[in-house]
Amino acid sequence: MWKGSSQIGCGAACNAQNNCYVTCNYYPPGNYKGDFANNVLQLNEGMSTAGKVFLAIFIILIILVIAFAVFHFAYKKRGFSDIKTYFVKNKN
């Protein structure tokens, strides 16, 4: 992740042909040409072993949540409008 980014938002959607897509946006954005070395830390840079373990678990949990959402809606053969309705209706 880009060093300056502090927020992430991810979404998943499936179309009528059960093609599923996952995308994430970061804020503030990053990944600018020529700035990679200054803004992306190596995994062993500035992070304790406990921090690395926590990060690995966190990433795995995020992937599982996204995978669950994608497969849940693909299995039920729901389209994007169904997904949007579900999340808007259940946002609280």
pLDDT tens over the chain, length 92 residues: 677 788 888 888 887 777 888 888 888 887 778 887 787 777 666 667 777 788 888 998 888 888 887 777 666 666 656 666 666 665 55
Q: Is residue 2 part of a domain?
A: no
Tell whether pTM > 0.75.
Answer: no
3-state DSSP assignment of residue 12: strand
Supply the pLDDT for residue 91: 54
- Residue 74 structural domain: 7-89
Q: Is residue 77 part of a domain?
A: yes
What secondary structure letter does DSSP report for 8? E
Q: Is residue 76 part of a domain?
A: yes
Give the chain's domain count.
1
Amino acid symbol at 85: T
Let me know: does 19 contact 11? Beta carbons within 8 Å: no
Q: Is residue 51 part of a domain?
A: yes
Q: Is residue 1 part of a domain?
A: no
Q: Which of 24, 11, 17, 23 is nearest to 79 (CA)?
A: 17
